[in-house]
Amino acid sequence: MGLRMTWMPSGSFVERLMLLVVVLLTWYTAPILFELPQGNSTEIAKSIGLMLMLSLAAFTVVIGLCWWLLQRIVMVLELPLIGDMVLRFNELDLWDQVRVYVCLFVLLVSGLVGCMLAVL
């Protein structure tokens, strides 16, 4: 019997595909749902809701893309898995852990300052 291997989508692939479909539907239907036929003062309030919904959809896509890129970088550089890195971090001396925390805090603050400068 010559059984041929066929590609079957995994659960995580189907979940990611469904999330992408929901985000795309939100992206294209939200402006229609928040649209008003005549311009008045409530249009400003409706546009705020639209901006929030679209920004959350874009944020979801960006977070997913960043996670995918992180996984690819870990695979390409042949680094240990993230769980193994966390276990090794817990084995560091206290001062080394403090240094890592301070460096991450500096990166976070510089990223926040960069975002604020981009808005201004």
Over residues 71-110, the pLDDT tens digits come to 888 888 888 887 888 888 888 999 999 999 999 999 989 9
Place of tokens 């925390």: 101
Range 6-11, long-range pairs (CB < 8 A, 24+ positions)? none
Residue 100's pLDDT is 92
Same domain, 84 and 95: yes
pLDDT tier for residue 67 given thresholds of 50, 70 and 90: confident
Note down the domain range covering 24.
9-79
Whether residue 32 lies inside any domain: the answer is: yes
Residue 42's pLDDT is 56
Same domain, 23 and 73: yes
Which of 71, 56, 69 shows the shortest CA–CA distance to 22? 56
Residues in contact with 50: Cβ distance below 8 Å, sequence separation at least 6, in sequence order? 30, 31, 34
Whether residue 50 lies inside any domain: the answer is: yes
Classified as helix, coil or strand, 38 is: coil
Whether residue 19 lies inside any domain: the answer is: yes
Same domain, 17 and 65: yes
Whether residue 1 lies inside any domain: the answer is: no
Task: Compute the distance between CA of residue 106 and CA of residue 18 in angstroms, rounded to an integer.
Answer: 36
Whether residue 43 lies inside any domain: the answer is: yes
3-state helix vs strand vs coil in the chain, percent to 5 = 80, 0, 20
Same domain, 18 and 73: yes
- With a cut of 70, say whether residue 1 has pLDDT above it: no
Total domains, the chain: 2
Same domain, 22 and 47: yes
Same domain, 96 and 112: yes
pLDDT tens per residue across span 26-57? 777 877 776 655 555 555 566 777 777 777 77
Same domain, 64 and 86: no
Inter-residue contact 30 to 53 (CB < 8 Å): yes
Residues in contact with 98: Cβ distance below 8 Å, sequence separation at least 6, in sequence order? none
pTM greater than 0.95 (yes/no): no
